[in-house]
Structure 1
């Protein structure tokens, strides 16, 4: 627990950056959007890690490795999103409960599911995050923040790519015979 008596900056307060010259009212909208994307990314990250730990079956090794790569990409993307929120004058959202509360996605239950169900749940979340990112890309463009727009475009590309790969894992064509 911190011994500091006063916060340097309250969560939700946005200070205009002199270097970036994004007006405070625009920065507030952008920070809110980035914190939403940050929250969604971390909720998905934790769900992907759960599936990485729990995957079983004949295709275990490939899926386990792939989900580890997905988690690493999500964590890196979240870091970039948080750093951009801070750069434009905000406080990045943190803390598990805060992230889940602010996220536009809902994680699956606490139980362990078969890998097909788990990947279907992941695919649904990837789709929801894709839609939110597209909205926030348009917001950043409309507000004239082309750096945030570019960051979110890069994030979207990664999210779409992983969603597409998960679609491939869910195809019916497999070397494993159903019993």
Structure 2
């Protein structure tokens, strides 16, 4: 696969960083960030799945929203991975490792109605929000205010997506149920 005889940097290692954050502290933040990275990729794939499979009267709006959501999750994942590297770590990159490290449980392969799909997404967003809050506190407590700031900015986006999904799940709709008329 690669012509390089040995890895430049082994996975699961932490080295010096230009931010002058102690390696032991950086390692704790890197572990948290790699969890966030893994969770982001699980969410990304689930949102993408729902984007592909959405049907019904609100198809277009939800289809567009889900694309915007998974694209923002991908951008956040990239920012997290780059921060891991900046802190002297190695961001998780293999699907097997990401799957093993993720703390959120993905929906199975079946296709569900959009209400069920969005409920599953909202549940995952909630789990990620809780994790982000813990990791913000961890990073700030270890003196890594840059990571805490980055995660706070991402937290705002995640909260906004959860808010929009919550609104999609409300009972009020313009769609008339033909079975009740």
User: Same-fold call, TM > 0.5?
Assistant: yes
Does 2:82 align with 1:103? no
Q: Secondary structure at the match of 1:38?
A: helix
In 2, Cα distance between the equivalents of 1:177 and 1:97? 44
Structure 1 match to 2:8: 8
Answer yes or no: is the 8 Å Cα contact 1:16–1:27 preserved in 2: no
Residues 12-57 of structure 1 show CA distances to partners (whole Å, capped at 9, x for unaligned) of: 100021x200111001001100000000011000000000000000
Structure 1 match to 2:44: 45
Does 2:115 align with 1:119? no
Structure 2 match to 1:173: 172
In 1, Cα distance between the equivalents of 2:5 and 2:131? 37
In 2, Cα distance between the equivalents of 1:153 and 1:31? 16
The alpha-carbon deviation at position 177 of structure 1 amounts to 1.9
Q: Secondary structure at the match of 1:132?
A: helix
In structure 2, the gaps of 5 or more residues are none
The alpha-carbon deviation at position 3 of structure 1 amounts to 2.2
Q: Secondary structure at the match of 1:177?
A: coil
How many residues end up aligned between the 2 structures? 178
In 1, Cα distance between the equivalents of 2:21 and 2:137? 16
Structure 2 match to 1:90: 89
Let me know the Cα RMSD of the aligned residues.
0.7
Between 1:105-114 and 1:93-102, the stretch displaced more is 93-102
In 2, Cα distance between the equivalents of 1:95 and 1:173? 42
Residues 103-125 of structure 1 show CA distances to partners (whole Å, capped at 9, x for unaligned) of: 11010000111100000000000
The alpha-carbon deviation at position 97 of structure 1 amounts to 2.1
Structure 2 match to 1:70: 69
In 2, Cα distance between the equivalents of 1:103 and 1:172? 32
In 1, Cα distance between the equivalents of 2:21 and 2:61? 45
In 1, Cα distance between the equivalents of 2:99 and 2:174? 37
Residues 49-80 of structure 1 show CA distances to partners (whole Å, capped at 9, x for unaligned) of: 00000000010000000000001110111110
